[in-house]
Amino acid sequence: MKKPYYLLLIVLGVTLFVVGIIVNKNTNITEEYRVERTEIYDRILKSNGYLNATLQYPTELLINEEGLISLELVPDKNVKTVLSQGMSIDTFIAPKRLTSKSERRQILPINEGGTVITWSIQGTRVGPSSATVSLGLTDSRTDPTLYPIAPQHRFEINIPIVETKTKASFTEYIGLIMIPAGGVSLLLGFIIAGKDFDQASKQSKKKRKR
């Protein structure tokens, strides 16, 4: 194969690879769950630390389908040093056009390895639905029957109830196809270029011997 062919393969490979990354980055991917994150700072035991709070919830639900909202809290190294003194996470969920079999307000101790709180939810009517998840740190002596929640953060989430779920379209895979195709084209270009240079080197040596 002549030089222009492997040069074309290399240029094509670079183009496909770069454009594929750009397309993939700017494409909205259909996902089953969404994830939101925040940091909750320790105002209770004054450890100068914080907890990473991660909320995961369904992108959409079918009518009467049961979904799960989960909240995970992971303490940093500073908070871990004071957990023996007693620290809890106080949470409350306020669903709109959603029903829940779980306790709306939940208070759980913070564990060194992390704490997970879940709520089961269900929608009975097609249309928009949402929920507000409030959370704040408290000490282990808090009595939820006496004290209201003092939220440090609120997650505002939307979970539409649909008749049929959104399916991934072909356009979502274009970038993912272009990236490996570009890699293959680059690899072939360099392999062919290497063989071409080897042949040219051998021919040059033969001419010198003559």
φ/ψ of residue 24, rounded to 5: -65, -35
**Fold exhibited by the domain 33-162:** Immunoglobulin-like (2.60.40)
Q: Which of 135, 167, 134 is nearest to 60 (CA)?
A: 167
Tens-place pLDDT, residues 43-97: 889 899 999 999 999 999 999 999 999 999 999 999 999 999 999 999 999 999 9
Q: Which of 130, 134, 119 is nearest to 61 (CA)?
A: 130
Sign of the CA dihedral running 142, 144, 147, 153: positive
* Longest distance between any two alpha carbons in the chain, whole Å: 101
- pLDDT of the residue at 27: 65
Q: What DSSP state is assigned to residue 200?
A: H
Tens-place pLDDT, residues 118-133: 999 999 889 999 999 9
Sign of the CA dihedral running 140, 145, 147, 148: positive
Q: Is the pLDDT of residue 154 over 50?
A: yes
Q: Which residues touch 86 (CB under 8 Å, ≥6 apart)?
A: 109, 139, 140, 141
Q: What DSSP state is assigned to residue 111?
A: P
- pLDDT of the residue at 203: 64
